Amino acid sequence: MSQNSIYVGQLVNWYETYPDANVISSKGTGTVIEKKNVTDPYDPYGTVKYKVFCHQLKDTRWFVKPYIEKHTKEK
């Protein structure tokens, strides 16, 4: 498993943006509960989507990179 991979069960930071601007509307921490490879005829490499249980929202949401990243401890 590579250092940059995100896996099921991992604690992550997630970010949501406003639909009309690339400005963060909400963010928080969550736990990855599902990982899915999605194919698209316009993207030959495909996309990896992550289903995350968002702790602050108490709900699940789907995220793709760069709107999800590994959680790191703040010093």
Task: Specify the fold of 11-70.
Answer: SH3 type barrels. (2.30.30)
Share of the chain above pLDDT 90, in %: 67
Judged against a pLDDT cut of 80, whether residue 74 lies above it is answered with no
Mean pLDDT of 29-35: 97
Task: Give residue 75's pLDDT.
Answer: 59
Write a three-state SS string for the chain. CCCCCCCCCCEEEEEEECCCCCCEEEEEEEEEEEEEEEEECCEEEEEEEEEEEECCCCEEEEECCCCEEECCCCC
Task: Give residue 4's pLDDT.
Answer: 66
Q: Model confidence over 38-55: pLDDT tens digits?
A: 888 888 788 899 999 999
Q: Where are the domains of the chain?
A: 11-70
What is the rounded CA–CA span in Å between residue 3 and residue 26?
26
**pTM for the complete prediction?**
0.83
